Structure formats: C-alpha cells, structure tokens
Chains A and B, each alone.
Chain A
Amino acid sequence: MKASQEPINNFSDDTSSENQDRFGIQVPSPLDVHEDCAFEGAMSILVPITDAAHLIHGPSGCISNSWVINNYPSSNSTLHKVRFTTDMEESDIIFGGAKKLDKAILELVRRYKPAAVFVYSTCVSALIGDDINGVCKNASEQIGIPIIPVDSPGFVGRKNLGIRVAGEALLEHVIGTAEPELTTPLDINLIAEPNSAIWINILPLLEQLGIRVLAKITGDAQYQEICYAHRAKLNVIIDSKPLLKMVKKMEDLFDIPYIEESLDSVEDINQCLRDIVAQLGDSELQTATENLIVQEISALDIKLAAYRIRLQGKKVLIYTGGRRSWLLISTAKTLGMDVIPISSKKSSKEDRARVKKLLDKNSIILQQDNISEVVEIINHHQAQMLIASTHLQSAAHLTNIPFLDINQQSHHSYVSYAGIFTVAQELYATLYSPIWEQVRKAAPWE
C-alpha cells in the first residue's frame, strides 16, 4: 500500500466538500449510487495497452470486473483480451501470495510472450501485504522484459484515483524508457480516458492533417509507443481530469507543453483541432485545418438537416452530469431543440457552470431527486421527452412522454463529427419510436 498513500494526500479536487474523511476523500455512503474503485480505474486505463499482459493479483471477484472492460478495440495484438489472474485462494491469503505471483509472471511470460506485464494489486493482496513491487523488480531482472507493478487496491479510493495511480505507474516505469526511431515536428501524444470513440473518430482527422500521434495514452496502444511518449512536441489531454497530474509532470520532466480539450460539441471539436495546430505553429497547417473544419461541418449539416426538421422546437428535459449528457445537450441545441436542464443537489458547481455556459440558462435543481418532482417539472414545462438515468424512468411513464436512458451502455461512438450525427439519430429514434404508445396501452379487456 506504499504508493497509494501519496496520491491520497493530494486528492482534493473531487466535487463536494461534505462528508469527507481526514484525507479529504468523499466518504461513500451505502446509499451512494456511484460504485467503482481504484482498481477498476487503474485497469480501465492500462488495459488498452494491447500487447501487454494484464495480471490481476487477487481473488476471483476482482476478475469479473476485468471481463467488463473488454470492448477496447485493437488494430494489432489482442493479448489485452486474455484475462490473467493469480486467482488467490484461502491458502494464499494465509501463507502470502508473493510466491504464487512470481510463478504466475514467469509462467505467463513463457507461454504468451507479452511485450510487458502489468501487475495489479487488489484489496486482498494489499491487505495481506504482498510485496508486488519487489516481485515485479526481481521478475523483470530475471526475464528481461518490463514488469510493471500497479499499486491499486480498490479500497484506497474511487475510480479517478485509480486512473491517477495508473498514470503514475506509466510515468515511473514506462514513459521515457525507450527512444523512437525518428521524430517529426508534428508529433503529439493523445491522452484520454479509454472511450474507444475518441480513437476511432479523432485519429482519422489528425491523420488527414498529417499530424502524427506518437503515443496514445491509452487506447489501442502498443507498449513501445508509450515508452516513446517523452519525445512528443505536445500533449493533448481530452476530458480527463485524473490524468492531468501525469501530463503536468511530463511538462516538468520532459518539457512537453499540454493543452486540455473537450469534444462534447461541434465547437469543441473545431477548437481542439485549431488548438493543436496553433501549438505546433505551422501556418500552412492552419489553412488545411480550417478547410477540413469547413468540409466536415458542411457534411455534418447536410446529414443533420433531415433530423433537424423533425426535432426542431421539441422540448426535452435532460438530466445533467456525466460525459453523455453534455453531448446530448449540445447536439439537441445544435438541432434546435429546446433543452431544459435538470440536475441533482449533489451535482458540482462546475457542472452547473457548464450548463449555464452551454445553454445560457440555469439548470433546475432537484431537491429530492425523486419521481414526483420530475413529473411536476415535465407538466409545468410541457416537456416532450425525458433524458435521464433509469431511476427517473417512471416519471416519463407517468406523464406519457418518451424516455432515453442516459447511462444505457451503447456501442455507438459519440465523439467527433461522426459522433454528433449518431447522437442526433438516437434522439430522433427515441422521440419518434412507435413503442411509447403501445407499452402504455391497456388491454382491450381492462
């Protein structure tokens, strides 16, 4: 539990200030719906390194998480889809699991020949005090490939903390450990939390401009490219607070400037491309970028036109907070829909400011966050659609309006110009779905 102590002390930028423990971490309550842990965060950020083996040093319960983060695309190796675990059992807990871990590393390297091994500690292995740092160091010396310990017991904090822990592990053990064959003045690192859409939809745009993404931290990444990350000319960090610390450290250590970008609306995407090019300081590239933007936007406009006709002026209630809500809000606005934002009492000041900026109006703050309150708002504003998480679904049902689940996992890519179009399609499909009438209809004999 050594490495986890330091980030805990520095962990202060989480939302609310109520209910914090002495480290300034929000103390979770059993009623808290947010359920994640540091281990999950660490895994989620590192597993997209596709040619490395990811070994969980813990009992079988922690593995069910790792099956979940499985949809990361890969253009090369698919080793990251193989689940490795020491599968700790009772005897390992009594006698210690370090020996088993050592054997596991040797065995999996022999059989699967990974580019590197990431070893994740879990609550149980941290609690019994297995020295994973020592084991990894020894094994690495013995085998000659990088074995990287990730000190990520779940109980140290929430997902965001785990993402930081992963960033620190990369800085400490990976970045700067190898030199690229060649560098160009247009080399950048793209740093984002692993939403596959970012990599699918943004990379082609950068490629068109001739910008080379040296390291993708992390999405469809090769171990080697992350070692090269210290030679990039610019770090572009997209919507990832927890990795900000890593990027700042890279600025100190390797003198790489960084820019923070978001991709939640058409303007954001335009801005992101412009910022990157401005930082790289190439005037020819600037004209090319403007051309690309014009081209993409007009293409998007043509595609959106049909949807705009049907969606314009519709009143929609959107529960704010979370990545998807920003996208939905900005797209709904682009389509000329009338968005009424609602948010819970718990939502952060920052989120509220964001709504204000995006829509030029304040969000309605729910006092109880319950159904009847939402029903009242729907009736009062004559809203025609509700976009929220499942717990408010019945408000839509009671008022007979269509409902879109904001958290419903979906395979669509919501990022970039292509993503905006997908969101528009989804808004249309929900609002005009013929099912709403049917599911609310009573049987003829009732």
Chain B
Amino acid sequence: MAIVSITSTSVAVNPLKQSQAIGATLAFLGFKGMLPLLHGSPGCSAFTKIPLAQHLRKAIPLSSTAMTEVSAIMGGEDKVEQAILQLVQSYQPEIIGLCTTGLTETKGDDMRRFVKDIRYRYPELDHIPIVLVSTPDFKGTLQDGFAAVVESIVKEIPQKVEQCRPQQIALLASSAFTPGDIQEIKEIIAAFGLEAIAIPDLSALLDTHLEHEYSGITTSGTTVAQLGAIASSVFTVALGESMRGAAKILEKRFNIPYEVFGELTGLDATDKFLQALADISGQSVPEKYRRQRRQLQDVMLQTHTYFGCKRVTLALEPDLLSSMVTILQSMGAQIHAAVTTSRSPLLEKLAIPCVTIGDLEDFEQLAVGSELLIANSYASATSQRLQIPLYLQGIPICDGFRPTVGHRLGNAMSNKVGYQGTMQVLFDIGNLLLMP
C-alpha cells in the first residue's frame, strides 16, 4: 500500500507531465481517415505535434482552428466552422477528432453547442462523425487526454447490433503501450483465432507508405466501419487502468463483459492474459507461446542476479509506472522512489511505501542513491547530473536534451509486452545494471 504524496510548490521545475492534447492527438493517430483538429492557436498545435513527431519520427497530421488575437477575444465559433469546412474539403476525412486547448477553454467556448450548430447548418457533414474531447492543458495529463478520446469514441460511435460475433473482441489499450506493443498484442490475440478491434490501433503507425502523399489526415488505423461494429464483440480487453472508464461504457451500452489488465510485461501478467484469451476463445495456448514462456523463465534465471536488490527510481505516468514497478519487483529489484503525474486509483495499490505526484526536480532529489532511473527523455539531464543510467520509457523518447541531435531511433517499434517483450525489457534493463 503506497502513500500518495503531493509536493506543493508554486513553481514546477522540469515538469514531468504533458498536456492532455498530446495524449488525445496520439490516440487519434490510431484511426483511419482521422482529421485531428485542435481548437486553439497554431502555436498550440505546434507544441502538441512536436513531442509526438520527435517520439514517433513521423509527420503528425494535426490541424488547428488557427485562433488569432482577434478571434481569441471576439469568438471561436466561426473559426471552428471555417476550419471544419475547409479541412473537410481539402482532405476528405472519414472522422474528425476535435480537441480544445487551454486558450479556448479559458475563453469558455461551448464546443458542444458549436458542433450542434455546425451539424444543423451543414447536413452534408452528417456522414462524418465528430469526436469531441475537452483537453485543456491546465488540467490532466497525457494519459487522461488519451483515455478521454477512447471514452468519447466508444460513447458516440458504435451502433447497436443484433448479432454477436463470437470471435470478435474489443481491445482498449492505454497510452502506456507503444505501437510495437499493440502489434505484438494483436498477434497474440490472432493466435487464438480471435479478431481484435483496437481502439485506437497505434500499430498502424508502423505501416509506412512510401508512395503516400502527405496529408492532413491519418492513412491507416481502425476504420469508422470497424468502430461501428464494436457492439458485436463478445468481450472487452482493457489494457491499463485508465481504460477502465471506456470499458465500463461498453459494458453499460452493449452488455459486453470486460477485464482490465494493468500490464502485459512480466511472466504473471502475460500468463493471466493468455489464460483469459484461452477462456474467451475456447482454444488452448498455442505452442509458440508455451515455448516463449520457457525461454522467458530461462532468461529470468540468467538475468535475476543483476536485478537483485538494485534500487530503481521511476518517473512515469500512472499506468506505465504500475507496470514497471511490477516487473522490477518480480525480478527482485527495489523501488527506491516513484514519481508520477496525476492521481489514479492504481497508486494506492502499488506495493511500495510512497508515490510522489510531482516534477522532475522531485525526481532528481529522490533519485539520489539509486542505481537506475526509468523516465522519458526529459530526465536525461538528471541522469547526466547524477551519473545514474537511464532506461527510457514513456513519451517522448527523443535524444534527451538535444532533440535536434538525431532523435533516438526505433521507439515506435519497441516491444515490452508478452513473453517476447518481457525478455527484451529484462535484457535492456539488465544491460544497464550490468554496466560498471
């Protein structure tokens, strides 16, 4: 049982948390034909894009309603309307994801009414769903923005259906999972003869299209038609505590039972997941994974000596924090300190004495005396100052303090889930602990 402490200072030094809009935009990238649109100034959308572009090394389609001083004072409704009309004409999106910003929320724009009015005035837009999420950057964090999008989508889009498809499950994956993770999870699910509709499907980001011309909308991911058919799923697999809300909505609307898997890294977590899939599908666990499980057990034997009693300090969003704490503890490492961004029911349940909601300055003070740090690239300066190795997790992972110096390669592909991914994590962390 962890005690959650909040450091109260007036000045945040090297903040850890990132704005909700970044999380929301990331979630939108997992849908096909999606036009992510930020109601704010062009600067807001740039600041949202840049960390994602650095992290994923991809052009991020995100437009803004391009607020100026005049429109910031006079009103935002026509800006939203103009933007939607112009962008629909230019890019022909299949779905629009509309986020707010600190600027427009402070102003008090009534987005729900704006969208209603636009719908009323332009019936030709009827076939395009508009997913509205409130993502002011003075509230919440990346993980919340991401979850808000998933909730908003399952609330608005799936339609009631009569027949149930026994092989179809809904997969809700939180921001803690990389595109590579999602790809692996989908493969595991497919190995049981099941078909997963992922909300969102970030693995689509791994499909590169050399031929493709840059456009303002996403080119791959879960389609609107697939979203519409979510209701015929037999089960919801929610990955990450922050997905519980969305899973509950699906249960309430369509009577789809759900289970929340906090993490998919580690032997126990993967066992539990595969058993659940076996139960849902009625198939036994494929030989491929039985074999990987034996390999993982062997790897755990090989690597545990480097983990034993090593003191680790983490600064991650709640879902990811919980996942990393579990895997480290399962290998015999000790949690020296843990810092996170926002409240979550997970935090109290962590088997560590204390969790701090704070910034990277808190992290730096708490980390003194530990042997490994786990955080995103913004902690690289801390790592340099304290001379403690840093294992990069979270968003963004770019080359630390010098984003213009060739960003770190291959984040999007990285995989930390399943037996295979767990082995990779053990090797990566083990190698850092092994270093003299």
Contact = CB atoms under 8 A, between A and B. Distances in A.
Interface in A51-109: 55, 58-65, 67-68, 70-71, 81-90, 92-93, 100-101, 103-105, 107-108
A434 interface: no
Contact of B51 (A64, A122, A393): A64
A32 B404 contact: no
A71 B210 CA distance: 31
Interface in B1-21: 9-15, 17-19, 21
Interface in A367-420: 370-371, 390-391, 393-394, 397-398, 409-411
A155 B13 CA distance: 25
B223 to A, nearest CB: 23
A284 interface: no
B211 interface: yes
A281 interface: no
Interface string B123-160: 00000000000001111010000000000000000000
Contact of A397 (B43, B72, B211): B211
A156 B71 CA distance: 10
Contact of A81 (B67, B72, B401, B404): B401
A205 to B, nearest CB: 23
A322 to B, nearest CB: 15
Contacts of B403: 67-68, 70-71, 409
Q: Select the residue from B13, B40, B107 with max chain A CB neighbours within 10 A.
A: B13
Chain A interface residue bracket vs B? 35 or more
A36 interface: yes
Given A28-B68, A123-B41, A154-B44, A55 B51 contact: no
Nearest to B405: A411
Given A37-B46, A71-B405, A157 B69 contact: yes
A27 interface: yes
Given A35-B42, A123-B72, A154-B44, A411 B402 contact: yes
B50 interface: yes
Interface in B54-68: 54, 59, 63-68
Q: Which of B49, B82, B214 has the most CB of A within 10 A?
A: B214
B66 A70 contact: no
A21 interface: yes
A8 B69 CA distance: 10
B138 A124 contact: yes
A104 B11 CA distance: 5
A127 interface: yes
Given A61-B101, A394-B211, A21 B405 contact: no
Contacts of B431: none
B138 A65 contact: no
B72 A394 contact: no
Contacts of B101: 61
B118 interface: no
Nearest to B40: A123
A398 B212 CA distance: 10
B68 A21 contact: yes
A67 B378 contact: yes
Given A64-B51, A124-B138, A35 B45 contact: yes
Contacts of B14: 82-83
A158 B10 CA distance: 30
B137 A62 contact: yes
Interface in B368-390: 378, 381
A34 interface: yes
Nearest to B378: A67
B15 A85 contact: yes
Contacts of B90: 31
A39 interface: yes
Contact of B65 (A30, A67, A89, A439): A30
Most chain B CB within 10 A, of A81, A123, A156, A439, is at A123
Interface in A294-313: none
B48 interface: yes
Contacts of A158: 42
Interface in A106-155: 107-108, 122-124, 127-128, 153-155
Nearest to A370: B213
Contact of B381 (A25, A81, A86, A398): A81
A141 to B, nearest CB: 19
A366 to B, nearest CB: 14
B47 interface: yes
A58 B106 CA distance: 12
A107 B69 contact: no
B68 A103 contact: no
Contacts of A35: 42-43, 45-46, 49, 64
Given A90-B138, A90-B139, A127-B107, A55 B43 contact: no
A40 interface: yes
Nearest to A91: B138
A34 B54 CA distance: 17
A391 to B, nearest CB: 4
A30 B59 CA distance: 16
Contacts of B11: 55, 84-87, 103-105, 107-108
B103 interface: yes
Contacts of B436: none
Given A32-B42, A124-B106, A59 B138 contact: yes
B90 to A, nearest CB: 6
B76 to A, nearest CB: 11
A67 to B, nearest CB: 6
B42 A64 contact: no
Interface string B147-185: 000000000000000000000000000000000000000
Nearest to A38: B43
A83 B15 contact: yes
Nearest to A105: B11
A29 interface: yes
B87 interface: yes
Contact of B21 (A39, A61, A92, A411): A61
Max count, chain B CB within 10 A of own CB: residue among A4, A60, A82, A393? A60
A60 B137 contact: yes
A62 to B, nearest CB: 7
Contact of A65 (B46, B212, B404): B46
A28 B17 CA distance: 29
Give the interface centre of B15, B44, B138, B402 by most chain A CB atoms within 10 Å: B138
A373 B214 CA distance: 15
B89 to A, nearest CB: 10
Nearest to B80: A30
Given A32-B66, A59-B19, A70-B401, A104 B10 contact: yes
A422 B68 CA distance: 39
A411 B406 contact: yes
A60 B103 CA distance: 12
A368 B40 CA distance: 28
B66 A87 contact: no
10 contacts: A4-B69, A30-B63, A31-B87, A35-B46, A37-B41, A60-B141, A71-B403, A87-B11, A127-B106, A391-B213
Given A82-B14, A85-B11, A124-B102, 12 more contacts: A4-B69, A22-B70, A27-B66, A59-B136, A61-B21, A61-B101, A81-B381, A84-B11, A93-B106, A107-B10, A156-B69, A390-B214
Interface of A: 1, 4, 8, 21-23, 25, 27-32, 34-40, 55, 58-65, 67-68, 70-71, 81-90, 92-93, 100-101, 103-105, 107-108, 122-124, 127-128, 153-158, 370-371, 390-391, 393-394, 397-398, 409-411, 439
